[in-house]
Structure formats: structure tokens, C-alpha cells
Amino acid sequence: MDMTTGKLISIEGSEGAGKSTVQAFVQQYLQQTQIKVVLTREPGGTAFAEEIRNLLLHTKDHEPLEKETELLLMFAARAQHIKHGIVPALDAGAWVVSDRYIDASYAYQGGGRGISQKYLAFLDQWIVAGLYPHLTLLLDIPVEMGFARTALRGTYKDRIEQEKIVFFEQVRAAYLQRASEDPERIKIIDASQSLLEVQAQIKHVLDQFCLREKI
Ligand SMILES: Nc1ncnc2c1ncn2[C@@H]1O[C@H](COP(=O)(O)OP(=O)(O)O)[C@@H](O)[C@H]1O
Ligand SMILES: [Mg+2]
């Protein structure tokens, strides 16, 4: 990647960790620079991928969704997102800030659903093909605390949010495992802290990142 292309930042973490809140803060932070920012999310981020998102999260009245189907739809959406969302934006020099990306598949479909790493690694190599985030902010929070926060957001729960506590404990553990394997890229943020403290942590990580990237 040369200097004229943008950077890819992903925000990860389980329900209620504060991903959407942090995404807005990252946008605000980058507004002080001349950098063009594109906010996006997974599953979704393009018209077609958003349709897949809807299938994954909100379709009711059908037979149970198999974990294999869920995994493949996640990567189908990601293939669209990469080719029609992320790559064009990066090529235009924008910084892309995505609410979830590849690590979420390792956490949810790998950790949560128990799908073998070998299938994840295969799809990762095929679909993501090395387009890894330059920086990942992992918002880590005790599961129950995240739940308490989403409860404030309303009573509606999508298909994945309806999973049990143990599922989210596995998701959290898988995220932390990923972070321990790639500490240069994945920065763990203690998301249990107050909004101001979380923002201070994010600012520190972004300051360090911009320094390293000579922004
Ligand atoms: N550090 C924080 N302390 C307290 N509440 C927070 C914090 N960060 C976010 N919230 C609130 O918790 C809820 C979930 O945050 P949100 O950003 O929607 O999480 P996510 O996108 O990860 O599900 C929102 O109501 C949000 O305002
Ligand atoms: Mg959100």
C-alpha cells in the first residue's frame, strides 16, 4: 500500500461494548486532520451486503439458521464490502472506520459457534486476502455489563443478541485471544470505564498510531 491510499481501522467488541459510540469519536478525532473518513459496518456496508445483514439478523419465520450458513453469509457480505466499499474508499485516500470486520468472524463464528479455525483461516485467506486493518480497537467489557448497556438502548434483540451469556463469554475470550496473537494491530480498550475514560484511551491509541504513521 503506498502513501496515497487510506487506512483501515476496525472497531470490535461484543454487544453494548460501545462500538457505535467509539466510531463517532474516531470520526471526530480524524476531523481535526484533513483526512477524509468513511464510516461503515459489518455485516453490511454496501447495498447488497446490507441485504445480507438483514437476512442474518432480522429474518424470522424460517427454519433455524445453521452455523455454516451464518459463516458463509458473513463472508459473502464481507466480499461485497471489501470490493465495493472498503477498497474503493481506500483507493480514494479515505480512512475507513468499520464497526466490526474480520476479527468478528473469529470471535462469533469461531469462538461463539465453535467453527474450526481451519475453515475461518481458509475464508480469511480467500476473501480478505491480506486486507487487514492497520489498527483494531477491541472494546473489552464484561458480558453482563455490555448487556446492561444494550438494555438501555431498548428491548428489541436481533438473532445474535438473543444468544445466551455463555456464547458471549466465548466471543469475548476469542477476541482477547486474537489480541494476544497480534498486539501490534489489536489494541485492547477497557470499555467498562466511563465514556470520558474510554475516549481518553482511544485518543491515546490514535495519537500513537498517527505518530507511527507520520500523520
Ligand atoms: N463508556 C461508556 N459508559 C457508559 N455507557 C456507555 C459507554 N459507551 C457507550 N455507552 C452507552 O451504552 C450503550 C451501548 O453503546 P453502543 O455504542 O451502542 O454499543 P455497541 O455499538 O458496541 O453495541 C449506548 O446507550 C451508549 O450510549
Ligand atoms: Mg452498535
Q: Please, what's the b/e burial string for 43-73 (b: 16 or more CB within 10 A of its CB; e: otherwise)?
A: bbbbeebbebbebbeeeeeeeeeeeeebbeb
Cα angle 25, 160, 148; round to 5: 55
What atom of ligand 1 comes closest to residue 195's alpha carbon?
Answer: 1
Question: Average of pLDDT values for 30-37?
Answer: 92
- How many beta carbons lie within 10 A of that of residue 208, not counting itself? 12
Residue 149 Cα to ligand 1 midpoint, Å, equals 6
16 Cβ below 6 A of ligand 1:
yes
How far out from the chain centre does Cα 78 lie? 11
Give the residue, out of 14, 21, 152, 168, with the most ligand 1 atoms within 8 A of its beta carbon, to mutate for a pocket test. Answer: 21
pLDDT tens readout for residues 144-159:
999 999 988 877 888 8
Taking the alpha carbons at both ends of the chain, their separation in whole angstroms is 15
In one-letter notation, the amino acid at residue 91 is D
Its pTM stands at 0.96
Share of the chain above pLDDT 70, in %: 98
156-213 pLDDT, tens digit each:
888 888 888 999 999 999 999 999 999 999 999 999 999 999 999 999 999 999 999 9
List the 135-140 sheet strands across, edge first.
37-41, 95-99, 8-13, 135-140, 186-190
